[in-house]
Structure 1
Amino acid sequence: MTFLQNSATSLGGSKRKGFHIIHICTEMEPLISVGPLAPYITGLSRALQKKGHLVEVILPKYASLDLDEVQGLREVVAESYSYFNGQLQGNKIWTGVVYGIGVTFIQPLYYSSFFNRDRIYDYSDDFERFSYFSRASLDYIAKSGKQPDVLHLHNWETAIVAPIFWDIFWDIFAKQRLGNTRILLTCQGFDSQCLVEPDKLALCGLDPGGLNHPDRLQDTAKTHLVNILKGGIVYSNKVIVMSSMHSKGGIIHNMSHELEPTLAFHQDKLLVAPYGFDNSAWDPATDILLPVKFSAENMRGKDACKVVLHQRAGISSLVSSVRVGCIISEVSDFDLEKLKEAVQNATSGGAQFVFLANASLPTINRALRYLQEALEGPNVKFFTHYGEPLLRLVFAGSDIILCHSLHDPLLQVPLKALRYGAAPVLEASGDNNFRYYADHDHEISRFLQFLRSTLGIMSLSQAIDEIRNNPSTWKTKISKAMKEDFSWDAECYETHVSAYSAIKSL
């Protein structure tokens, strides 16, 4: 049975519990976290495990790993070898448990410098580093006798697993009765793809001549190079793109970074899943860091949190004021002049603002000083250093959380805002793409559907007017928002299980 015979997929097939999923990835929260991949791996894995699926994670053993978070860490005594650069290479294998999830760490012996560096990404030999890890992961799975239903790959860094699996390991797995294993690739986006010379494919045992073709790994624009992410898309049974905003068509035609022909050809295997968040860790009804807890059924505690927030921030105690929180992670994301104008217009009408920002980077610090000098006063307070209690108090004590974008896979500010009874609202420059898709695209996530149908995609001034002019209606909407489930256990989980079910029915 060849890869091409297994590449056609559909959304048919019933859901069932009990999948064995192995993530081959480069990040996992709280062990190693650079971007949105880390919370996604942990959040999805925990959701899957809670619903009865067996989940494992394979990671490189970085020198910078936070191993204090690993329970029962131990070195596996059995020898492990993987094929790379024409010969067998030795590895140390470590195992442990994180959040109840089995985690395996692969530590190269000869190529020990691959994961003993200051950063995780952005080195000239990244292809060599991660193709080694990808091949070593497959060697380990095959030799360990594991029988996963799904090998779940992530971004270009482990996308090379897909062609290695089908071109090299399929016969090995079939002989070991692992022939039912299928491949799912998740992409956080398409802006990073990894283009290399075709000859480099031979490092991990692949045939450059057989793969350097337009329908395989050859890059569409730079035909003298092979595209590793494209190879993952071509060779995977299903591809999930993580986006809380865009539809499949919007991603293919507007966000594909020159992968549009490949995505269009393989669109039947493409799904879109929204990000989630940990709604057990972020719950105002149980949050021990809040001065007073509250829930959608009993909102009195939120009023108390508003009082504590204005005391903590030293802003005027105006009972009728609308309180607006803003968590800034990257000042460059904001149009500073338009943000300043929006805040000045709102404060002139009695709104109050609390800004939280990290001033550790010089460029951010300069921009924050500019905003602070222009805006800070009786109704505007800036905190350039803050801890978790103040962060949660801002969510709990605000009516509105001002966001540059509602697509926030790393900090998940819009989702947390809704959970704590604050409306996520776009800042003045806004994310016009969000407004367009919310108004015109019918294949959007439940999160965006909810914002469109319940709160509306409003500007800051519109939201403030709504709160003041229709307070009873606004409270009903906020109460409804707090009850919505946008966690990893909801739509994100459902989309992934649908994908697993579909590829297992092949």
Structure 2
Amino acid sequence: MYIVQIASECAPVIKAGGLGDVVYGLSRELEIRGHAVEIILPKYDCMRYDQIWGWHEAYRDLSVPWYGASITCDVFCGWVHGRLCFFIDPHSEDFFFNRRTYYGCDDDNMRFAFFSKAALEFLLIANKRPDIIHCHDWQTGLVPVMLFEIYKHHGLEFQRVCYTIHNFKHQGPAGAEVLTATGLNRPEYYFQYDRLQDNFNPFAINFMKGGIVYSNYFNTVSPHHAWEAHYGEFGYGLGHTIHLHQDKFGGILNGIDYDVWNPQVDRFIPHKFTPETLEDKQKNKKALRERLLLQHEDKPLIAYIGRLDDQKGVHLVHHAIYHSLLRNCQFVLLGSATEAGINNHFQHEKVFLNDNPDIHLELGFNEELSHLIYAGADFIVVPSNFEPCGLTQMIGLKYGTVPIVRGVGGLVNTVFDRDYDETHPPEERNGYVFYQTDYSALESAMDRAIGLWRYYPEEFEKLQLQGMAHDYSWNNPGEDYLAVFELIRHK
């Protein structure tokens, strides 16, 4: 099969979150299985050009229709760790992708509407005819709309679209000007509930809804989150639209790259280890304590790695720090806040706890340090309010770092409570799960985990090994996506 990914990120060249990891990891898995994969991305001025090999101009003077006129683009090409990527560079007074940022501009909807239009125009003009176009999140929600309404009449009639939603919270609302700009026009046609009209704002179109309505198949990134989005609050207003299109909807769990996240080969940790040499994990714990100036004592080390925001359950992260101290444990935090108020709060805590030999708060993100924390910690806490998939807990499992998670989204599909999970036999259980968002629920799970470490070390080691035995690579998701691609290809 010939598959083209259209996305706003691809790690490590463009990475703002998990989306970049997924686009890269899935593309690599599909190629390993013998399929041809190309990735189309915006050419941001702030991306990691040092991660691109063989940079060259692939297509000059691509004329993209826009507002009844056109914008000329150049398309560059290069290999990102073996993946063939095309980068669209518009010559526009709007400087769509020369903003020193990936997201967060007032005209993001216009920026990515243009990118979606340019990506399709490039496929058309460069005579690329993929079997599958796989697009991601609200930024590319208009791709299947324009493919069906415009480009199928110009030579892209056989292409099928899989649309993957990584986060329902951000949906890309816009006004009628986007329809005019892209050449879709006809606002009276698109401002219909069964097309692009936002479910709650009759004066807005919704990019993500467009992707759902017009794609041949759409999915989110774990089976449980698919259920939450369909029947619960985490569809953020799109639940009824999902229901109307449920016959082409599913959940496929993300994978992680075991060439990067694997204690057997990890180049960022001082002591590599395997399930057979699990005792060497203690050497990494010692190295982590030395690096962060924590005291060397026989006590559990609990970690949090991730953004500090409401999605991640920041109030519970804060509580976990002090509950760890109360239970005579150590706590390491690595993360950056997305809001000034949360950042100020944790800066204050960092100063307040600075001299405590059992706590280290690292505000920011450091890839190298994150590997050492996974390798050295005993537990990783993931108390998210919602979590479409979650990679942290899957990485923790691979490193023998037992996850303590809230039972939402992909966390439910990957972590099975040692004491209470009735859907998996004891030998498949791998962590601790709590369900409420209050402090006592978190404390209960933490206390069970700490108690096992403290009083039943052999049972704790058994739990670590059971976690390490789970396969959360791209192997199974790769198979699932290919099954979807085959299904829609023959429709």
Normalised by the shorter chain, which TM-score bucket?
0.7 to 0.9
Residue 432 of structure 2 corresponds to 457
Residue 226 of structure 1 corresponds to 205
Residue 441 of structure 2 corresponds to none
Q: Which of 150, 156, 171 pairs up with 2:132?
A: 150
SS in 1 for 2:100: coil
Please say if 1:87 is aligned against 2:69: yes
Please say if 1:27 is aligned against 2:13: no
Alignment map for 1:386-405 (pairs within 5 Å): 388-405=367-384
Please say if 1:63 is aligned against 2:45: yes
Residue 440 of structure 2 corresponds to none
Contact 2:393 2:415 in 1 (8 A): no
Residue 265 of structure 1 corresponds to 244
The one-letter amino acid paired with 2:432 is I
Deviations, residues 449-485 of structure 1 (Å, cap 9, x unaligned):
5874403534111001122333223222211211222
Residue 320 of structure 2 corresponds to 339
Name whichever of 83-92 and 108-117 sits farther off.
108-117
SS in 1 for 2:271: coil
Contact 1:152 1:184 in 2 (8 A): yes
Alignment map for 1:42-61 (pairs within 5 Å): 42-61=24-43
Identity of aligned residues (%): 27
Would the alpha carbon gap of residues 342 and 251 (structure 1) be closer, same or farther in structure 2, given more than 3 Å must change? farther
Work out the CA distance in 2 between the residues paired with 1:482 and 1:416. 9
Shift of 1:96: 1.3
Would the alpha carbon gap of residues 372 and 480 (structure 1) be closer, same or farther in structure 2, given more than 3 Å must change? farther
Please say if 1:202 is aligned against 2:184: no
Alignment map for 1:415-430 (pairs within 5 Å): 415-426=394-405
The one-letter amino acid paired with 1:90 is T
Shift of 1:331: 6.7
Would the alpha carbon gap of residues 311 and 204 (structure 1) be closer, same or farther in structure 2, given more than 3 Å must change? closer
Kindly name which structure, 1 or 2, has the bigger radius of gyration based on alpha carbons: 1
Would the alpha carbon gap of residues 213 and 20 (structure 1) be closer, same or farther in structure 2, given more than 3 Å must change? same
Name whichever of 337-346 and 51-60 sits farther off.
337-346
Shift of 1:301: 1.1
What is the count of residue pairs matched by the alignment?
467
Alignment map for 1:169-180 (pairs within 5 Å): 169-173=151-155, 179-180=157-158
SS in 1 for 2:106: coil
Structure 2, unaligned stretches of length 5 or more? 434-444
SS in 2 for 1:394: helix
CA RMSD of aligned residues (A): 2.9
Contact 1:273 1:491 in 2 (8 A): no
SS in 2 for 1:338: helix
Residue 75 of structure 1 corresponds to 57
Please say if 1:137 is aligned against 2:126: no
Would the alpha carbon gap of residues 40 and 470 (structure 1) be closer, same or farther in structure 2, given more than 3 Å must change? same
Work out the CA distance in 2 between the residues paired with 1:259 and 1:501. 27
Compare relative contact order (CA 8 Å, sep 6+) and give the higher one, 1 or 2: 1
SS in 2 for 1:73: strand
Would the alpha carbon gap of residues 456 and 286 (structure 1) be closer, same or farther in structure 2, given more than 3 Å must change? closer
Residue 196 of structure 2 corresponds to 217
Shift of 1:295: 0.4
Contact 1:94 1:105 in 2 (8 A): yes
Contact 1:336 1:371 in 2 (8 A): no
Residue 469 of structure 1 corresponds to 455
Would the alpha carbon gap of residues 475 and 60 (structure 1) be closer, same or farther in structure 2, given more than 3 Å must change? same
Deviations, residues 28-66 of structure 1 (Å, cap 9, x unaligned):
112222232212111111111111111111112222232
SS in 1 for 2:102: coil
The one-letter amino acid paired with 1:42 is Y
Would the alpha carbon gap of residues 76 and 395 (structure 1) be closer, same or farther in structure 2, given more than 3 Å must change? closer
Shift of 1:411: 8.1
Shift of 1:337: 6.2
SS in 1 for 2:75: strand
The one-letter amino acid paired with 1:490 is N
Residue 504 of structure 1 corresponds to 489
Shift of 1:500: 0.8
Shift of 1:77: 5.0
Work out the CA distance in 1 between the residues paired with 2:188 and 2:388. 38
SS in 2 for 1:255: helix
Work out the CA distance in 2 between the residues paired with 1:386 and 1:213. 43
Deviations, residues 222-278 of structure 1 (Å, cap 9, x unaligned):
223322221111000000112475243554432111112211000111111223222
Contact 1:340 1:375 in 2 (8 A): no
Residue 282 of structure 2 corresponds to 303
Contact 1:75 1:92 in 2 (8 A): yes
Work out the CA distance in 2 between the residues paired with 1:385 and 1:183. 37
Work out the CA distance in 2 between the residues paired with 1:229 and 1:180. 22
Work out the CA distance in 1 between the residues paired with 2:54 and 2:354. 51
Would the alpha carbon gap of residues 39 and 340 (structure 1) be closer, same or farther in structure 2, given more than 3 Å must change? closer
Residue 161 of structure 1 corresponds to 143
Residue 495 of structure 1 corresponds to 480
Would the alpha carbon gap of residues 80 and 486 (structure 1) be closer, same or farther in structure 2, given more than 3 Å must change? same
Structure 1, unaligned stretches of length 5 or more? 1-18, 439-443
Residue 437 of structure 2 corresponds to none
Contact 1:344 1:375 in 2 (8 A): no
Work out the CA distance in 2 between the residues paired with 1:158 and 1:336. 33
Alignment map for 1:431-446 (pairs within 5 Å): 431=406, 433=408, 445=413
Work out the CA distance in 2 between the residues paired with 1:386 and 1:262. 37
Q: TM-score, normalised by structure 1?
A: 0.83
Would the alpha carbon gap of residues 339 and 480 (structure 1) be closer, same or farther in structure 2, given more than 3 Å must change? closer
Deviations, residues 280-329 of structure 1 (Å, cap 9, x unaligned):
1121112233232210122121133233344444444434x223233364
Would the alpha carbon gap of residues 322 and 340 (structure 1) be closer, same or farther in structure 2, given more than 3 Å must change? closer
